[in-house]
Amino acid sequence: MEQKYSIDEFINQTKQEDKGQGYFELETPRMLEVNLQGQVWAKAGAMVSYRGQIKFVREGVLEHGIGKLFKKALSGEGTSLMKANGNGKLYLADQGKKISILKLQSDSIYVNGNDLLAFEPGLDWDIKMMRKVAGMLSGGLFNVRIEGTGLVAITSHYEPLTLLVNSGQPVYTDPNATVAWSGNLQPEFVTDVSLKTFLGRGSGESVQMKFEGEGFVVVQPFEEVYFSQQS
């Protein structure tokens, strides 16, 4: 029995292992390993550990032009991205959230800004503002549209659920529980006054995202609220 809780046993149970999965590797469901040979975009502050020669650079102010700079200023701290450059192993995590890796193949996807962990540098990206709901929601006011071919790592609180959107059958979601959706969908925001009265929990709950068309939307069993609501 002495061996059961020994340090050696703990190390054996938890040590890092190379799974040979390539550029992005899930070391655990909540820890992403990036086998870095060059560059990767990652959420600022997501670095847990690294080995090798890696330098970190916050997103350059003018790197993406005035348009993105303006949107970044509007959207608050959640949009902060960093670039990791070099060769080595980089470990990323975000508040213990579950990580999902997606391989885009000439696809596009929208990801809530709070739920984007990392993506390959060859992908095109742009910050999209949700101006219509800025006064209604306490968090998640922006999302990032990613397009092209390459890997994207997204996070969710607990297990994500993907809902298929079919023509004529719209899907409604709570914005604070919405993680990502297919790049061809343009959600609109609708207000349900009766829901607000029923829940009685401030201004955000009466606003829903309405998805129409053909595609998918990813939700999580958690309301992600990063900025305190003004009472």
Question: What is residue 63's predicted lDDT score, i.e. its pLDDT?
Answer: 52
pTM score = 0.85
Count the Cβ atoms, other than its own, within 10 Å of residue 218.
Answer: 24
Interval 14-27: pLDDT, tens: 999 888 778 999 99
Predicted pLDDT of residue 211: 97
Instruction: Write out pLDDT tens, residues 79-119.
Output: 578 999 999 999 999 999 999 999 999 999 999 988 999 99
Q: CA dihedral defined by 27, 59, 141, 123, rounded to 10 degrees?
A: -60
Residue 13 tokens read as 């149970």
Q: Find the mean pLDDT for residues 28-37.
A: 96
User: Using an 8 Å Cβ cutoff, are 110 and 143 in contact?
Assistant: yes
